[in-house]
Structure 1
Amino acid sequence: RRAMKVSVSMDTQKVLGGDFYNKVCGHLKLLEKEYFGLEFRHHSGNYVWLELLKPLVKQIRCKFIVKFFPPDPGQLKRGLTRYLFALQIKQDLSNGSLTCNDNSAALLVSHILQSEIGDYDEELDCQHLEMKHYVPNQEYLDHKIIKFHKKHRGLSPANSDIQLLEVARKLDMYGIRPYPAYDGEGMRINLAVTHSGVLVFQGNTKINTFSWAKIRKLSFKRKHFLIKLHDKPSCKDTLEFAMASRDVCKSFWKMCVEYHAFFRLAEEPKAIHKTLLSCKGSSFRYR
């Protein structure tokens, strides 16, 4: 189990981002490829997603990670897809982006142990936890990790991955990629997008949720991200958030477009004359 690093040889002068992405997924023998994406650092310093219809040569230097986090990753059809999701959870846990309380962290690590070394063995567990660090401040959690690991006897690596995803999906920070911003009162917050809509965090605490059903339109104007809600007499119908730059703001807006479209793909096609997520001056559409 290693980080998702893939080396694929292609002539980058002639291929589109989508060609390269398909080559990566073919190399991995990955069928449920729609949940993943290739991320790279833009010249502005921000991380953005590889665009499939643009030439690869203008983007490149990508890393393969989960792009769309479904509400229940245990329902993914393929074992390989679940395995890659488990790798992503493991990576997010180790770098501190998947924050949680001590009990949840210990439970997650215990499932990783079961998957990597099998059933509990006191000496082996201690040696493994000394050599590998799965979560910040792990040394304070060793006893809890071992206590949980004892209960997983008999679980196969594949079932351990399913249990890991089951714990992870219930965490507030599951699948969250925060974008720093300021609200209308100048308060520093983080914005994020999930399958259910746009979320607002203060630190690691979720303070507001704007479900897709509540949102009439999302747009951006320079470095300001705008959420227009369906008219309600009791509250302001347009919320404005200031972000670091136009590039950051547009990147987050594009991510919202993609999430909104992706998690509506299972619905029956309808004739839509005006999209919910639109912005003047941008021709970006998710395919």
Structure 2
Amino acid sequence: MGCFCAVPEEFYCEVLLLNESKLTLTTQQQGIKRSTKGSVVLDHVFRHINLVEIDYFGLRYCDRSHQTYWLDPAKTLAEHKELINTGPPYTLYFGIKFYAEDPCKLKEEITRYQFFLQVKQDVLQGRLPCPVNIAAQLGAYAIQSELGDYDPYTHTAGYVSEYRFVPDQKEELEEAIERIHKTLMGQAPSEAELNYLRTAKSLEMYGVDLHPVYGENKSEYFLGLTPVGVVVYKNKKQVGKYFWPRITKVHFKETQFELRVLGKDCNETSFFFEARSKTACKHLWKCSVEHHTFFRMPENESNSLSRKLSKFGSMSYKHRYSGRT
């Protein structure tokens, strides 16, 4: 591999897409430099995938300590210091940033397909746990999408075992998937993918962006950002749920994260959590504000993600943090 550091403006990046293919972005091919805005990089990826409903998606990257970030459309690549410190070359991961509450209502088939790929990955990597019977149903839809109708001549015994659907996949699950696959005759790939999403969206952890935090007495909690609000988990059980319209302030200082919620009695209550680091706390805050902005934006307003985020950036009320993001 050549030396990418000879010219400071040179940029070489691999974008991992949800279908497991890679898109290479370079200074030579696309003219992308360190001074290029994140929005330009996003546009290259969206055009490559032919996405129209772009609002839901983003590009993630990890720093050297495995903290995750989202590429900021308004900042240059050079301003993403955590990214720059990892390369060159650089790696970005394309995926869903904001999960639609009902992905089946997405207008474009290509958008639903990207949701299908992401949710399938969420199930496989254990981010979206599901009981065995649901896992079998989802696996059968995924097989139908991939292979089409069951054919006894080509789909010989054990054909399902060539595919991975869940962590720690058992033979019993594969047999159940095969049985269900045989009943899906006639389903087109797009119909099977839609049925996959229709089943997956009902799972408790669908679309939940989990952030580890500490509560009282250093008890371990997770804050889950969802399409409807913030969910609090302790010992894998939901112990609190705060809807976006009820959240009046999101704030952080050092490692402390504050969530201020308006109760039914119209009184505000603050909930405080400790993040594992200043960086993790800032990331949690930024994700919370962006989720709050995104899911409270009226549907009849512009579908432009940049338009929404610029509106988020110009907010002068309580959700805005006065420091740089």
> TM over 0.5: same fold?
yes
**Is residue 116 of structure 1 aligned with residue 137 of structure 2?**
no
Instruction: Give the secondary-structure state (helix, strand or coil) at the position aligned to 1:134.
Output: coil
Q: Is 1:29 paired with 2:46?
A: no
Unaligned 5+ segments in structure 2 are 1-17, 84-89, 302-310
Matches of 1:231 and 1:169, distance apart in 2: 28
5 Å matches for 1:1-287? 2-3=19-20, 5-9=22-26, 10=30, 11-57=32-78, 58=80, 59=83, 60-122=90-152, 124=155, 126-139=157-170, 140-230=172-262, 237-266=269-298, 274-279=316-321, 281-284=322-325
Task: Give the RMSD, CA atoms, in angstroms.
Answer: 2.4
TM-score (norm 1): 0.89
Q: Is the CA contact (8 Å cut-off) linking 1:119 and 1:154 kept in structure 2?
A: yes
- Where do 4+ consecutive residues of structure 1 move more than 6 Å? 232-236
* SS, match of residue 141 in structure 1: helix
Give 5+ residue unaligned stretches, structure 1. Answer: none
**Total equivalences in the alignment:** 282
In 2, the alpha carbon distance for the partners of 1:268 and 1:115 equals: 33
Cα contact 1:220–1:250 (8 A) shared by 2: yes
TM-score, normalized by length of structure 2? 0.79
Distance 1:196 1:234, change over 3 A: closer
Amino acid at match of 2:323: S
- Secondary structure of the equivalent of 2:187? coil
Distance 1:236 1:84 in 2: 39
Cα 1:235/1:141, change in 2 over 3 Å: farther
The 1:204–1:114 alpha-carbon spacing in structure 2 relative to 1, beyond 3 Å, is farther
User: For residues 278 and 13 of structure 1, do their structure 2 counterparts lie closer, same or farther at Cα, with a shift above 3 Å needed?
Assistant: closer
Q: Percent identity?
A: 31
SS in 2 for 1:171: coil
SS in 1 for 2:272: strand
CA distance in 1, matches of 2:75, 2:178: 48
Q: Is the alpha carbon distance of 1:203 and 1:175 closer, same or farther for their aligned partners in structure 2, counting shifts above 3 Å? A: farther
